[in-house]
């Protein structure tokens, strides 16, 4: 039996992650003989802490061991299992990624600049609410963008908090902010 693929492993991982209140963000399989590795990134609401990751790691290891004993999976001479969180460099491609990063600064794809996430509208397709920074004499404003327009954005690491004017807009949508906001930005 061949070393399992990412898709093979997802059928074991997704139910275990769901029981732990997490989503499997990605699975990476690296084949290198006795140094093979399986890396599983999970995230959830609330974000998994070290205790949750350790518990999930034990459950995944037990499930993989049982599947190997049954002959359903074969990892070969050995492998390393790593259960982790995706980190800040994971592109935001799903609405859940955006929801988990409300208030954070993100770099938009294709040179779209840096904006702060205000929130996500209810529903399957969003939209994502973004805070565009203000300029000289203009306050920041909230705009709505479809997921397809912003998919692939990446969280920026920042060492100071949001400016006060932007903090006031977090959690608000374009229609909640100010009726005086220009129509083309809604």
Question: Using CA atoms, how far apart are residues 97 and 160, in angstroms rounded to an integer?
Answer: 22
**Predicted pLDDT of residue 3:** 85
The candidate with the shortest Cα–Cα distance to 152, out of 122, 85, 100, 107, is 107
Q: Which of 41, 40, 30 is nearest to 78 (CA)?
A: 30
pTM of the model: 0.80
Q: Where do the domains of the chain lie, and which CATH numbers do they carry?
A: 6-84 (3.30.300.70), 95-179 (2.30.30)
The reported pLDDT for the residue numbered 177 is 56
Q: How far is CA 33 from CA 1, 70, 82, 135, in A?
A: 14, 21, 17, 56
What tokens were used for 131? 């805070």
Distance CA 139, CA 159 (A): 22
Look at residue 182 in the predicted model and tell me its pLDDT. 44
- Spans in the chain with pLDDT lower than 50: 178-186
């Amino acid at each position: 039996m061949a070393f399992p693929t990412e898709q093979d492993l997802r059928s074991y991982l997704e139910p275990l992650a769901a029981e732990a209140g997490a989503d499997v963000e990605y699975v990476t399989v690296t084949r290198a003989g006795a140094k093979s590795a399986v890396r599983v990134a999970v995230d959830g609401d609330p974000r998994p802490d070290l205790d949750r990751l350790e518990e999930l790691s034990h459950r995944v290891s037990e499930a993989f061991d049982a599947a190997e004993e049954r002959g359903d999976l074969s990892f070969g001479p050995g492998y390393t299992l790593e259960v982790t969180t995706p980190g800040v460099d994971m592109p935001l491609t799903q609405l859940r990624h955006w929801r988990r990063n409300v208030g954070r600064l993100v770099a938009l794809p294709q040179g779209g600049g840096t904006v702060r996430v205000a929130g996500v509208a209810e529903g399957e397709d969003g939209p994502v609410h973004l805070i565009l920074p203000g300029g000289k004499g203009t306050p920041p404003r909230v705009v709505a963008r479809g997921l397809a327009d912003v998919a692939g954005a990446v969280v920026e690491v920042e060492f100071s908090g949001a400016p006060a004017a932007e903090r006031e807009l977090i959690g608000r949508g374009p229609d909640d902010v100010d009726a005086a906001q220009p129509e083309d930005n809604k």
